[in-house]
Chains A and B, each alone.
Chain A
């Protein structure tokens, strides 16, 4: 056990640090997340440019093979990169679903043509990806999805609906799960498609969220033609394709979550140090100190639990129980953090962006509301606990 970096890793850290110092956009938070006043398109445009710059500098797709635009590095460099981004409070990576989900799945299951066609453009953010999994009647019970894909010569014809599809309004491609064999048991008749979002018959309708913002969407397919060449991992094999890459997704997304938690925590500490309650700064209040210290500890625990999982991967072992807990822990900690941010603001917490009286231009109000989705999106906390209970602890299915 050793937390020190090797000279090579140290020099990689310095490389990232120096680059970020030079290239970090100023005042980006208020431009990207300030609620419905800033149109999403503008935010996406900014984040797209940011990812392109990261890519040009070689900081996107570190673990991907070199021939597909990656750097062939390990999860450790990825860990270092994310830690540095957190320290610098860097903007998020826009095409995260492409990088963390579509890409690794294509690397694992794709044909050579598919790899050549899609991977590099995911990294450069030339093509944005969204995830077409959930449907109105298939959320936590995803395998009961009904969106149909029917064979038609060299193509498939897709008809149905997806919902809660983040970033669909900007996406060029979708990872689509659709039913290709309605007679098979529900897990067996699903196929994983790579769907061109610009195809005729695809329509996207933004859904307004409790933030007032429209980040996710409904997506409708009306007899959309998808070439059979866009099947990933074989017909009726979609469920297996999805499951196999799940662990890598969790890890890769976990890096990003750690960054976001650390940035939010640092901001919260800053807020506590300048917000007065009863005549003194909140950070001197013993109860506030207890709550902030607990958040600090929980954020660190999240990082070290992730580090244990990475270590196993680096040694060529499969991560164990420690890899399964991150999502639940992150949601719980982040939602608590946002609750405390509201509490610190007292009556000011009621003010949204649009008045000088709002704290931090109303950013906290946005993130507070947005955080409610954390324990629903990407698998609800309840489903995560079922997974832990059944797959890690070996408890019987209900």
Chain B
């Protein structure tokens, strides 16, 4: 048993930290908050050059062939920089769905393009019913003229407005179990009847869209995976993406703790640095406990999904439950210990505070995942 990172992973961490300090300072993040695209072509290309867009994809498809523990290291650093842009939606959602369910030719085409920075793909899963389980997929796909016709609305879709294609989860059959009858379709951005609306979001570093499909026709070759059997691969994508998100959240939480302890050392009140007072010191210690536990449980989950051990779904849910609460609490404590300055637009804390809130609900909050844990431990 070895619960640590190897030398290559430590190097990846160091490289990534330096890269984001140079390429993704908060001035850049703030520019991208106001920019509808949320990313520049230049920045995206640099991610591709680093090999990070294809980090987890097989080398045969232009990727680097690394695993989820490696990815966790990178995602932590991205979270530390509150990196904007469609990395998560492209690599962990759309791309991963194609990797998990797609045909060889779909993988070859899309994963290669994604790895090289030539395409962005997102996943359209959730709907206005805001459910994360299979029953939430109600968008209809009817078989017609050798293909399918898709009709319905998807909501909270990450970066659909900049994606070249969307993997859309749709219902092709209403079976006894909601997990049967879910199918995945690859819909190009210019499909007729596809409408994408960018929504104003609390976390401006992460763009969310409403996607409406009005009788969108796709060919049979648009099907990703087997008809009616889309939920299984989708569930794996969601677990994996949730774990990657947890790693990103850990990086953000650690950054807040760093900012807060630095501030507590230099901010003087009543003649002493505020960090000398136990009211501040103890809250900072609470933050550290949360951050360290969040990392431990996330690293374990990253290993578990990577190795596809039987406990992987449980590990993913344990991580998402813990980290969802932890990041929100740590971000709130960070603002509190900074006082008034922490509440200003000028200070970077709110970028993390808002990212924490958005991430908390993505793929289910702590309450949702605790119930899932209860089911998985046969309570």
Contacts and interface: CB of A to CB of B under 8 A. Distances in A.
Interface of A: 1-5, 9, 76, 79, 269, 272-273, 283, 286, 289-290, 292-294, 296-298, 300-302, 304-305, 307-308, 310-312, 314-315, 321-322, 324-325, 328-329, 382, 384-386, 388-390, 392-398
B289 A328 contact: yes
A310 B3 contact: yes
B297 A300 contact: yes
Contacts of B379: 269, 272-273, 283, 289, 292-293
B288 A388 contact: yes
B318 to A, nearest CB: 5
Interface in B273-292: 273, 275-278, 280-282, 284-286, 288-289, 292
B296 A293 contact: no
A268 to B, nearest CB: 11
Contact of A388 (B1, B285, B295, B321): B285
Given A301-B322, A322-B296, A398-B277, A329 B4 contact: no
Contact of A312 (B4, B294, B303, B304): B4
Given A307-B296, A311-B2, 18 more contacts: A1-B3, A1-B4, A1-B299, A289-B371, A300-B297, A301-B294, A302-B293, A304-B296, A305-B293, A308-B3, A308-B4, A308-B296, A310-B3, A325-B293, A392-B288, A395-B281, A396-B276, A398-B276
Interface string B20-35: 0000000000000000
B5 interface: yes
A386 B293 contact: no
Nearest to B272: A396
Contact of B278 (A297, A322, A382): A382
Interface in B297-344: 297, 299-300, 302-304, 307, 309, 318, 321-322
Contacts of B371: 286, 289-290, 293
B285 A389 contact: yes
Contacts of A297: 297, 318, 321-322, 370, 373
B367 interface: yes
A58 to B, nearest CB: 21
A394 B281 CA distance: 10
Contacts of A322: 292, 295-296
Contacts of A314: 2
B98 interface: no
B266 to A, nearest CB: 10
Contact of B1 (A2, A286, A292, A302): A2
B218 interface: no
Interface of B: 1-6, 69, 257, 261, 264-265, 272-273, 275-278, 280-282, 284-286, 288-289, 292-297, 299-300, 302-304, 307, 309, 318, 321-322, 367, 370-371, 373-374, 377, 379
Contacts of A273: 379
Contact of A301 (B69, B275, B297, B367): B297
B287 to A, nearest CB: 9
Given A269-B379, A322-B296, A396-B272, A289 B374 contact: yes
Contacts of B3: 1, 3, 304, 307-308, 310-311
Given A1-B303, A272-B379, A393 B285 contact: yes
A308 B294 CA distance: 12
B377 A296 contact: yes
B127 to A, nearest CB: 24
Contacts of A305: 292-293, 296
Residue of A311, A329, A389, A392 contacting most chain B CB atoms (<10 Å): A389
8 contacts: A3-B1, A3-B303, A292-B374, A305-B293, A305-B296, A385-B286, A389-B278, A398-B276
A207 to B, nearest CB: 29
Contacts of B289: 325, 328-329, 388
A286 B284 CA distance: 32
Given A321-B288, A329-B293, A389-B281, A315 B1 contact: no
A8 B11 CA distance: 31
Contacts of A1: 2-6, 69, 299, 302-303
Nearest to B293: A301
Contacts of B261: 393-395
Given A293-B321, A311-B3, A386 B370 contact: no
A3 B3 CA distance: 7
A163 B272 CA distance: 35
A239 to B, nearest CB: 22
A294 B377 CA distance: 12
Nearest to A286: B371
Contacts of B307: 3
A393 B265 CA distance: 10
A254 to B, nearest CB: 13
Contact of B265 (A289, A384, A392, A396): A396
A387 B46 CA distance: 42
A9 B284 CA distance: 38
Contacts of A390: 281
A327 to B, nearest CB: 10
A395 B276 CA distance: 6
Contacts of B303: 1-3
A296 B1 contact: no
A153 B282 CA distance: 47
Contacts of A311: 1-4
A321 to B, nearest CB: 6
A304 B300 contact: yes
B94 to A, nearest CB: 27
Given A301-B296, A304-B297, A397-B276, A296 B2 contact: no
A269 B83 CA distance: 41
B296 A393 contact: no
A274 to B, nearest CB: 13
Contact of B288 (A293, A302, A307, A325): A325
Nearest to B254: A321
Given A293-B379, A305-B292, A397-B276, A300 B318 contact: yes
B1 A9 contact: yes
Contacts of B288: 321, 324-325, 388, 392-393
A296 B112 CA distance: 41
A178 to B, nearest CB: 30
Contacts of B304: 3
Contacts of B280: 395
A293 B369 CA distance: 9
Residue of B3, B4, B69, B277 contacting most chain A CB atoms (<10 Å): B3
Contact of B281 (A283, A296, A398): A398
Contact of A386 (B5, B278, B318): B278
A308 B285 contact: no
A392 B277 CA distance: 16
Residue of A283, A294, A386 contacting most chain B CB atoms (<10 Å): A294
